[in-house]
């Protein structure tokens, strides 16, 4: 029995359970939506949180000792790439850092390009920053996504910045080197700054290999910003905090001066302690997690293919999020949502919230004990058979 088979009781203070009525209109659904896992956060992280919170004076702290070195060592071990400590900056969170990058490096009214479908905060934060959102639609093909290169290049000509999610969310697509090199080259040709959100990079499962964006083409001094966090991988998103990596000297000086002079990303001892713990003390837990998630993905894909032929699975090898294509069911968006909520009694994220290209899709979180997934599949099969058998 795996440690991830254990059912962890979570109360209504967590969004996954506390927002069921708000999200689905009922609490009678199995929640498989928001992107955290129903696994206990690693003990080493919890222990270090207690040590930090037990300090008798919760005053101003210096940097947590060794947090930057832990990042350097992690990238060397995981991705066989060397990064310098001076490339790193602590950030208050990945989405916050996307916003800060936009504010620091673009002007009001300029165009910011993203892909679509895309993790839903992106289509809101761009206009929220007073910039104009441009989107290039990804091409869905054989259970994965590809770029429409002509459309991408045309829209780059009008853009100041390109926001990439690598691996992609939803869909877990691990972009290959050829794709990343093209993105780098085309953005470089147009002088477009790249922000690569790599929050799911450490959740790349066996058989796939994540390429940190700043390694995509060493010959080009592209203006790229890589953002990551331990929150998703080590199931501590509530702690917030993360890491910014900027290799380009000029871009780094400009961006980090903005963060520091405006006091927007000051040291947070507790959040840095979590980064250190995750990267230095949780390797056994991490390796077991990847294996468990890999088996969960395989189970769900096989069961859906066997029992729900009008539903296909988009999954590119990273994260615990699967994007279900239910277009062949022939339902409207409202009817599809009703099918999952009221017939299958499953709480999934509707694909439409991820923008154009998400119609007829649902996002499924498989980061939970196998017994929960078994119950989810039983419910889905029963609802599906009533409609199509």
For position 8, what pLDDT does the model report? 93
For position 388, what pLDDT does the model report? 74
Asked whether residue 154 carries a pLDDT value surpassing 70, the answer given is yes
Mean of the pLDDT values across residues 159-174? 97
Question: What pLDDT band is residue 381 in, cutting at 50, 70 and 90?
Answer: very high
Q: State the span(s) of the chain assigned CATH 3.40.640.10.
A: 46-281
The class level of CATH for 3-41+284-388 reads alpha beta
CATH placement of domain 46-281: 3.40.640.10
Tokens of 75: 């990238």
Mean of the pLDDT values across residues 30-42? 97
Contact between 136 and 122 under an 8 Å Cβ cutoff? The reply is no
* pLDDT tens for each residue of 252-272: 999 999 999 999 999 999 999
For position 218, what pLDDT does the model report? 65
For position 11, what pLDDT does the model report? 87
* pLDDT tens for each residue of 100-127: 999 999 999 999 999 999 999 999 999 9
* pLDDT tens for each residue of 327-343: 999 999 999 999 999 99
User: Rounded to two decimals, what is the model's pTM?
Assistant: 0.96
For position 217, what pLDDT does the model report? 72
* pLDDT tens for each residue of 344-371: 999 999 999 999 999 999 999 999 999 9
Asked, as a colleague might, if the bond just before 25 is cis with ω within 30 of 0, I would say no
* Mean predicted lDDT score pLDDT of the chain: 96
Question: What pLDDT band is residue 220 in, cutting at 50, 70 and 90?
Answer: low
The C-alpha atoms of residue 182 and residue 221 are separated, in whole angstroms, by 14
* pLDDT tens for each residue of 281-336: 999 999 999 999 999 999 999 999 999 999 999 999 999 999 999 999 999 999 99
Question: What pLDDT band is residue 219 in, cutting at 50, 70 and 90?
Answer: low
Which long-range CB contacts under 8 A does 128-136 form with residues at least 24 apart?
Answer: 128/99, 129/99, 129/102, 129/103, 131/102, 131/106, 131/160, 134/158, 134/159, 135/355, 135/356
Mean of the pLDDT values across residues 185-196? 95
Return the sign of the alpha-carbon dihedral for residues 81, 86, 92, 95. negative
Asked whether residue 180 carries a pLDDT value surpassing 90, the answer given is yes
Asked whether residue 4 carries a pLDDT value surpassing 80, the answer given is yes
Residues sharing a CB contact under 8 Å with residue 14, sequence separation 6 or more, in sequence order: 36
Asked whether residue 92 carries a pLDDT value surpassing 80, the answer given is yes
For position 140, what pLDDT does the model report? 96
Return the sign of the alpha-carbon dihedral for residues 228, 229, 235, 239. negative
Mean of the pLDDT values across residues 208-231? 88
Asked whether residue 280 carries a pLDDT value surpassing 70, the answer given is yes
Q: State the span(s) of the chain assigned CATH 3.90.1150.10.
A: 3-41+284-388
For position 271, what pLDDT does the model report? 96
């Amino acid at each position: 029995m795996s440690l991830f088979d254990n059912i962890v009781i979570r109360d209504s203070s967590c969004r996954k359970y506390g927002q069921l009525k708000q999200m689905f209109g009922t609490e009678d659904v199995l929640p498989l939506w928001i992107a955290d896992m129903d696994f206990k956060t690693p003990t080493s992280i919890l222990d270090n949180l207690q040590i930090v919170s037990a300090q008798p004076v919760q005053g101003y702290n210096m940097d947590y000792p060794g947090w930057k070195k832990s990042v350097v060592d992690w990238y060397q071990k995981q991705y066989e790439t060397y990064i310098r400590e001076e490339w790193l900056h602590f950030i208050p969170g990945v989405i916050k850092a996307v916003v800060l990058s936009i504010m620091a490096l673009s002007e009001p009214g300029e165009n910011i390009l993203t892909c679509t479908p895309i993790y839903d905060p992106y289509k809101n934060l761009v206009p929220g920053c007073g910039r104009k959102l441009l989107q290039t639609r990804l091409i869905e093909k054989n259970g994965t996504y590809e770029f429409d290169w002509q459309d991408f290049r045309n829209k780059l000509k009008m853009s100041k910045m390109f926001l990439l999610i690598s691996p992609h969310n939803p869909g877990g697509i691990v972009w290959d080197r050829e794709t990343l090199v093209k993105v780098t080259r085309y953005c470089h040709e147009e002088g477009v700054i790249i922000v690569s959100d790599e929050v799911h990079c450490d959740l790349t499962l066996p058989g796939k290999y994540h390429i940190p964006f700043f390694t995509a083409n060493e010959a080009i001094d592209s203006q790229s910003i890589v953002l990551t966090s331990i929150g998703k991988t080590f199931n501590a998103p509530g702690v917030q905090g993360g890491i910014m990596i900027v290799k380009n000297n000029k871009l780094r000086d400009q961006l980090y001066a903005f963060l520091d002079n405006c006091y927007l990303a000051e040291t947070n001892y507790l959040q840095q302690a979590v980064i250190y713990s995750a990267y230095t003390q949780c390797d056994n837990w991490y390796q077991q997690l990847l294996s468990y998630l890999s088996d969960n993905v395989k189970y769900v894909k096989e069961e859906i293919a066997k029992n729900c032929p009008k539903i296909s699975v988009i999954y590119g090898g990273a994260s615990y999020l699967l994007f279900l294509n239910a277009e062949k069911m022939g339902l409207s968006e409202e009817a599809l949502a009703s099918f999952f909520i009221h017939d299958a009694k499953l709480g999934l994220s509707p694909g439409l919230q991820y923008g154009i290209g998400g119609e007829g899709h649902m996002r499924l979180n498989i980061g939970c004990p196998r017994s929960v997934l078994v119950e989810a599949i039983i419910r889905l099969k029963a609802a599906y058979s009533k409609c199509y058998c």
